[in-house]
Amino acid sequence: MSIRYVLLMRHVAGYKPYHSNSGDEERSSDYPGLLRQGERHAVAVAMALREALDDRPQGSRITIGGTWSSPEPEPAATALILTRELAIGRPDPIEDLAPGSFPRGGGSRSAKVLTTLTDRIETLTCAHPANALLLVGHEPQMGWIANRLTGVRIPIDRGELICLCQVAGRPGWHLLWTIHPDDKQAVSDIREKIKSKMDTAKVMGGFITGLVTFVLTQFLQRPDVNTATLFLRVATVGLLLAAAALFFASLFHYDTLLMPSRFWGSRAPAAEKTHPTWLVSRPPSSSAWVLYQNMMRIWNRTFVPATVLVWLAVILLAQASLRPDSPRDWWVLPAAVVELALVMAWTRVNRPRLGTQD
């Protein structure tokens, strides 16, 4: 089974004229384009990468056949440190990885360069005897390349390296693992975010439970209804109960994520099961990435569906209140569809737009 790999790294912290050249802003003596701290981070990532490559089982070895870097001082120095520690050939400066030819603002020029780069990556990883290519550059360019290959947005922190892989015969690339020089602050931040989501799940679960009680009381006070109204009432209660169950499930799942990583256990591997492609391998990935991916999975597959069920239940409740017995009484459902389309269009245009810049 043939597997291809692409390693993408965002350069470490560089030295700027406004830095004081002391403390955390001390300039590296060996790599003048970097801060001393940035040099240490690059060495740490290189050593972790070497260990990750050496620990790969026979048959899935990662062999880096080439290194591309932006010609700018920070990524060029970062790439030099990696190639030195890994004992591989010197990096090749690629002009298309420079910010000047890959504008951060996007647009047609950036899209064209991005297409050219990803086509070159696909071609080289297929034709080269080695199965991996290492790129060192800037954000958001590295993130754009990852997004074009995988189809998902992958945040890449300063000094972080990510490994993408593609199995022959399977469509698309996926994130295999990441290496970060120091992700302790990210772990703390992501746990705070999980706590806020837990609070929201608590409120929504309690609200829906109260709403179910209110709705049942109202329905029982008016038991004589036609078949259509009875069906709408049953569907409304069923959707609300399902939504409440999902909100409470997300609450328990989020609580599981707050377990200290010291107490994370490992399940023995089974022959018929493989590691899920949506989750990074750990090690070498940090616990921050494991928490982030699980948090987003719970949000997308439990919390968001619960919210959708609540919306559907409210629509059916409104329709049931009309006790429809003729076609003209069913106007609530099409009106809700139109409203949903307008709200989705509005929120899409006005949604938050986040991004990373060097």
Summarize pLDDT for 115-144 with one digit per residue, the tens.
888 888 888 877 777 789 999 999 889 999
pLDDT given for residue 62 in this prediction: 87
* pLDDT single digits (tens) 192-215: 999 999 999 999 999 898 888 888
Stated pTM of the model:
0.88
Q: Where are the beta strands (DSSP E) in the chain?
A: 3-10, 64-69, 92-93, 132-137, 161-167, 174-179
pLDDT at 271: 67
Between CA 38 and CA 41 the distance in angstroms is 5
Mean pLDDT of the chain: 88
pLDDT at 357 over 60: no
First vs last Cα of the chain: how many Å apart?
38
* Structure confidence by residue, pLDDT tens digits, 143-171: 999 999 999 999 999 999 999 998 877 77
Q: How many CA atoms lie within 13 Å of 263's alpha carbon, on the beta-carbon side?
A: 5
Reply yes or no on whether the pLDDT at 2 is more than 70: yes
Task: Tell me the per-residue pLDDT of 81-120, one tens digit each, with 9 for 90 and over.
Answer: 999 999 998 999 999 898 887 766 777 888 888 888 888 8
pLDDT digits (tens, 9 = 90+) for 22-38: 877 888 888 999 999 99
pLDDT for 36 equals 93
User: What's the pLDDT score for residue 222?
Assistant: 81
Mean pLDDT of 216-224: 82
Closest to 6 (Cα-Cα) out of 195, 154, 204: 154
What is the predicted pLDDT for the residue at 102? 74
Q: Which domains does the chain have, with CATH numbers?
A: 3-182 (3.40.50.1240), 186-261+275-349 (1.20.140)
Q: Is 18's pLDDT higher than 90?
A: no
Highest mean pLDDT among 55-69, 261-275, 330-344: 330-344
> What's residue 192's pLDDT?
94
Please give the share of the chain, as a percent, with pLDDT higher than 90. Answer: 50
